Structure 1
Amino acid sequence: MTGPDGSRTGGVPLRVLSYNVHGQRDDTAALAAVVRAAAPDVVVVQEGPRRFRWRQKSAWLAESLGMVVAGGGLPALGNLLLTNLRVRVTRTWSQRYPLTPGRHLRGAAYAECAVPGARFVVAGSHLSTDPAERPGQAVLFKQELDAVRLPLIVGADLNENEGGAAWRTVADGLTDTAVAADRADRFTYSCGDPRTRIDGIFVDPRITVVDYDVRDTPQTRRASDHFPVLADLLLPATD
């Protein structure tokens, strides 16, 4: 059943896509087509623009995907949050993890948002490929997540699967949308040789997981080296 605002009984629908876009180094037309076809309300981007003219590049990326920039970019070291016009962004902030000499800086992006009938926070991060520094980054990310009081949605490339310490740290107390939908066997990386699930969407237990998908199509295999992860959610209605 749906209410007069289009929401399902007992919650407000929200579609979230988490996507490592590989620095837009692949087929950008395919990338745009993939995201537009998914019609998400929120896109959590990893490996978005983070260097020279990052604001313009972020705006161009958002426009190509049919979205607008909500937050992130250089302050969040390439983690970018995009929304459609249904979503109102009320506050944003970014986080940077300590630099390990010889490694890339990593960080996270956050946005407090509202849709008709509900409020929520969305967060995105991309943890290190270095197994020595990744657990520490996960702890810092989790500390920031734990401070959030609104219903929380997390999209991340954790660079390890659910057996890893960093994954367990981030997922603790949250619902893994793939597990909730009984689809944790769907690999997210790599498009050329799918072999592991290192990308995930995690949600506050107050949020209902309606559906989950890893989009594996000829277009997604051209668009990036990661498959996009899509979750249909029901947010708790605002009192």
Structure 2
Amino acid sequence: MNGRGVVVAGSGVPVRLLSYNVRSLRDDTTALARVVRGYRPDLVCVQEAPRFLGWRARRTGFARACGLVTAAGRRAAGLAVLAGPRVRPLHREYHLLARVPGLHRRGLAIAVVEIDRAPLIVASTHLDLDATARRAHAGQLVVLLERARRRYGAPVVLAGDFNERPGEPAWELLARRLRDGYTVAPAGEAATSTARSPRTRIDAVFADPEIGIAGCGVPVDPVLAADYPAATDHRPVLAELTLRRALPGRPSGITAP
């Protein structure tokens, strides 16, 4: 581990996690799937997954087009966690955050997984445009993630569209408990919104201190980046993480259902 808390390559299990607001698959889904496949993620935290007519078939079809399966997700709040072939899904949870009159319902999708004997809790969320609601919901996320950490005995990574910039209240609440991947190990570019004219970083990946972060940011492969404006209205965030394996001969502490 180097001075920034980055685990040196080869010292653990490498994991590629992509966070992406897909705008209900209303744009060019062929371009979108091309972007996801091109970055070869083990896990994808999805925001604004389809919620209306034919939502299940559309989500399943998108996952299949990306070479992934759904590890967690429900219709409400438009969240999902998708998993690749290396990932062994073990448990899933779905939580609706406190209702705020007049605003969209927000939530938290959790997938508990194992990758090469390394356990991980993966969570996807999408906070509101309203600052008061964001701050209240961020506090609820902290409680729910701590409960999952105790229940499953695994580290947490939280990814999502936070509709807020670094330094603002909800972001800072999360950053005091989890590490902001881009701040720890910036890679690629920072701005995630909008895809056509990126100026603001409102999407992020946060991780527990025991998870190594080798790099995090908007990936800039020129061929794949050319698809960003057509795919959706956000740019993706790619985090290169490193996990600790369970000790040989010792179970991870998490069992499949």
Give me the CA root mean square deviation.
1.5
CA distance in 2, matches of 1:156, 1:210: 19
Amino acid at match of 1:28: T
Q: Residue in 2 aligned with 1:222?
A: 230
Q: Residue in 2 aligned with 1:14?
A: 15
CA distance in 2, matches of 1:187, 1:212: 12
Amino acid at match of 1:94: Y
1:176 is aligned to 2:191: no
Deviation of 1:85 (Å): 1.7
Summarize the alignment of residues 85-234 of structure 1 with structure 2, pairs less than 5 Å apart.
Answer: 85-147=85-147, 148=149, 149-183=153-187, 186-216=190-220, 217-234=225-242
Amino acid at match of 2:17: V
Summarize the alignment of residues 44-123 of structure 1 with structure 2, pairs less than 5 Å apart.
Answer: 44-75=45-76, 77-123=77-123
Deviation of 1:236 (Å): 1.0
Deviation of 1:185 (Å): 6.3
Assess if the C-alpha contact under 8 Å between 1:49 and 1:73 holds in 2.
Answer: no
Assess if the C-alpha contact under 8 Å between 2:181 and 2:206 holds in 1.
Answer: yes
Deviation of 1:135 (Å): 0.6
Please identify runs of 4+ aligned residues in structure 1 that moved more than 4 A: none
CA distance in 1, matches of 2:232, 2:53: 21
Deviation of 1:83 (Å): 0.3
Assess if the C-alpha contact under 8 Å between 2:188 and 2:219 holds in 1.
Answer: no
Assess if the C-alpha contact under 8 Å between 1:71 and 1:93 holds in 2.
Answer: yes
Identity of aligned residues (%): 38
Assess if the C-alpha contact under 8 Å between 1:18 and 1:156 holds in 2.
Answer: yes
Question: In 2 relative to 1, CA 184–169 (structure 1 residues): closer, same or farther, beyond 3 Å?
Answer: farther
User: Secondary structure of the residue that 1:170 maps to in structure 2?
Assistant: helix
Assess if the C-alpha contact under 8 Å between 2:44 and 2:82 holds in 1.
Answer: yes
Amino acid at match of 2:218: V
CA distance in 2, matches of 1:185, 1:171: 19
Assess if the C-alpha contact under 8 Å between 1:71 and 1:110 holds in 2.
Answer: yes
CA distance in 2, matches of 1:54, 1:111: 19
CA distance in 2, matches of 1:211, 1:19: 17
Gaps of 5+ in 2: 1-8, 248-257
CA distance in 2, matches of 1:171, 1:74: 28
Q: Residue in 1 aligned with 2:33?
A: 32
User: Secondary structure of the residue that 1:133 maps to in structure 2?
Assistant: helix
Amino acid at match of 1:221: P
Assess if the C-alpha contact under 8 Å between 2:188 and 2:216 holds in 1.
Answer: no
Q: TM-score, normalised by structure 2?
A: 0.86
Deviation of 1:179 (Å): 0.9
CA distance in 1, matches of 2:157, 2:215: 14
Assess if the C-alpha contact under 8 Å between 2:21 and 2:46 holds in 1.
Answer: yes
Gaps of 5+ in 1: 1-7
